[in-house]
Structure 1
Amino acid sequence: MCLIAFAWRVHPAYPLVVVANRDEYFERPSAAAQWWAEAPDLLAGRDLSAGGTWLGVTRTGRFAAVTNYRDPARVRADTESRGHLVLAALQAPDLNDTARAIAQRKGDYNPFNLLACDGRDMVVVESEGDGVRRLAPGVHGLSNHLLDTDWPKLHAAREGLAAALDTLPAHEPLVAMMRDDRPAPDAALPHTGISLAWERRLSSAFIRAPGYGTRCTTVVLVGRDGRCRFLEQRWNADGDADGLTDETFTIPCWPAGSACTGAQSPLP
């Protein structure tokens, strides 16, 4: 992903709310979000080039997503795909142990930010930061720098999500806010080692560039009752809707590893 806004333990009915845009070259092959045949509890898209994923959830109550940390001078061709970090965070037995292990070998990957949650803890591993950070409740944003960096599109996404919380369980306001393709003013642009033209293109929430852009918008809503809704709206190179995955399922024990409390109430 290249832009993630999320609310952790803010909404009384939805302890986890995520909305994210995946930006990628359109020529890079990928599969739509679906339940994986070889991992039946895993719901995610698939990078058909390297085999990993950018964002996913599991029936056991795990969530994870990754963004690239933008620094062209640090990119190497001989590293493992960062999409495998998401799979590790989704499938490993203990989230915190896995996050610490990833932090210890962060140099094996191109710069990244990994966000993961098991219902008890929400953590972020930043390859350019220190260790594993356990996040306090709040509305946060993550793009191609550190968590909550004051980039214009990240600030707008956090404000937009905070306002949209009052409209839940409707997903349309979340998707609409991530469709904002207005670039930031030049004076507010970050300096990440790319050209000014590309800084402008990448400064909007929804990217439209030659051969590159926002490929999908994903919404994840996890209710206090353990019901999870996962929605992936895909976009073509013209920015038009191009397929939808919409799944709702019950997490047996939420948070993950907690004692089951019996029947779950329906998702509103």
Structure 2
Amino acid sequence: ILCTNRDEFLDRPTEDAHFHAFGAALPPGAPPPVLAGRDLQAGGSWFGINRAGRVALLTNITEPAQKYTTSRGALVSAFLLATPPTHQSLEDELAALVPPDARFAGFNLLLFAPAPPASVSTVENSAQTPISYEALLVTNHGGGGALAARPLRPDECACGGVSNGVDGAGDAPWPKVQHATAALAEALASTTTTTTSTSSSSTTSTTAPNPTPPNPTSPATYTPTESALLHQLFALLAWHPPRAIAHRSELRHTVHVLPVPIVLDGPGSTHPRAAYYGTRLASALLVRRDGAVLFVERDVWGLGGEDGDGKGKPVLAEPPTERVFRFVLGGGLSASDICASR
């Protein structure tokens, strides 16, 4: 269960989440392997999942802008496109994917991969081996730093959050992460209580053989458990304090970033003049233990009309438009691979 906002300049060229291969050539008839949005300015992505169940989630470390020849988003695309060698750890795979001399602007990257022996084929054919995940946090601790990786702690795996700060620096926890983690824990607890009180024949069962999406004909029609959980996840992502932030240094205090003019000065800046920055997208990912996937992406803030300077002004998507995807891990393009936009 993952939820995340994409906080970014509102004028940055972006493609919504869809199945694709980041422009890579595919064999004839092969389904696009990755479900993710695309950053059209620097390439790569910030959040996505592939058909094997591998997940990547990227946050940028808040720091002065610098110029780098590499894109942090390319780490996401490389991981989601890679075919991992058998019996290789995530740490070893990362070393093979990223050149040792590569330098990036500051980032934190969460990587998730189905843990052996719960391979995709096993999940498809046996109800006795529910899918589970290995998880790794990768970071360079700030722009130009060497890559470091560590497994997530048990408490982080149970319920945790990742910020735009430096991992292990000893700084005080970011208020927005504290708030979001507490809200996530509450959502998980209430959903668990609701699920355990339902009938054993409920469509939310996570051990059903030959998994199929709960709503095979209407991806945007949620089960009661999905609806309750998604409601709480998107409420979590919409939280902001009563007072709007006025400076980039205050981003640590809000989950939902109300649009604010920000100037990024420096050799790597793409916005030497003020441009609106805010929460553009909110996303939630649910992967059931039987391999059924639900991915929901909602529009939040965009640009429309003109402000006093003749530029686009922030417009809230109200009600929010969303894209909903359902598929089963390990499957090709099939009737169970469905999407809807509303």
Same fold (TM over 0.5): yes
| DSSP 3-state at the match of 1:169 | helix
Aligned length: 227
| DSSP 3-state at the match of 1:87 | helix
Aligned partner (choices 277, 282, 299) of residue 217 of structure 1: 282
Please, which runs of 5 or more residues in structure 2 have no aligned partner? 25-31, 85-89, 116-133, 192-224, 262-275, 302-313, 337-342
Greater relative contact order: 1 or 2 (C-alpha under 8 angstroms, separation 6 or more)? 1
Q: Does 1:52 align with 2:44?
A: yes
Q: Does 1:159 align with 2:186?
A: no
Q: Distance in 2 between matches of 1:157 and 1:92?
A: 31
Partner of 1:30: 14
Q: Does 1:207 align with 2:284?
A: no
AA paired with 2:104? Y
| DSSP 3-state at the match of 2:33 | strand
Assess if the C-alpha contact under 8 Å between 2:174 and 2:252 holds in 1: no
Q: Does 1:252 align with 2:333?
A: no
Partner of 1:115: 110
Q: Between 168-177 and 45-54, report the one with greater CA deviation.
A: 168-177
Partner of 2:72: 82
Q: Distance in 2 between matches of 1:202 and 1:218?
A: 19
Cα displacement string for residues 19-38 of structure 1 (whole angstroms, at most 9, x for unaligned residues): 00100001111011011165
Q: Between 199-208 and 99-108, report the one with greater CA deviation.
A: 99-108
Distance 1:53 1:185, change over 3 A: closer
| DSSP 3-state at the match of 2:3 | strand
Deviation at 1:198, TM superposition (A): 2.6
Distance 1:181 1:239, change over 3 A: farther
Partner of 1:7: none
Q: Distance in 2 between matches of 1:156 and 1:141?
A: 10
Kindly indicate which of the two structures has a greater share of residues assigned to strand: 1
Distance 1:158 1:52, change over 3 A: same
Deviation at 1:103, TM superposition (A): 7.1
AA paired with 2:282? T
RMSD: 2.7
Distance 1:77 1:158, change over 3 A: same
Distance 1:155 1:184, change over 3 A: farther
| DSSP 3-state at the match of 1:90 | helix
Aligned partner (choices 81, 88, 94) of residue 91 of structure 1: 81
Partner of 1:178: 237
TM-score scaled to structure 2, two decimals?
Answer: 0.60
Q: Show structure 1 runs of 4+ deviating over 6 A.
A: 183-186
Q: Distance in 1 between matches of 2:101 and 2:233?
A: 32
TM-score scaled to structure 1, two decimals?
Answer: 0.76
Deviation at 1:102, TM superposition (A): 6.0
Cα displacement string for residues 52-101 of structure 1 (whole angstroms, at most 9, x for unaligned residues): 111000111110011111121xx322321111010112122234433234
Partner of 1:66: 58
Deviation at 1:132, TM superposition (A): 1.5
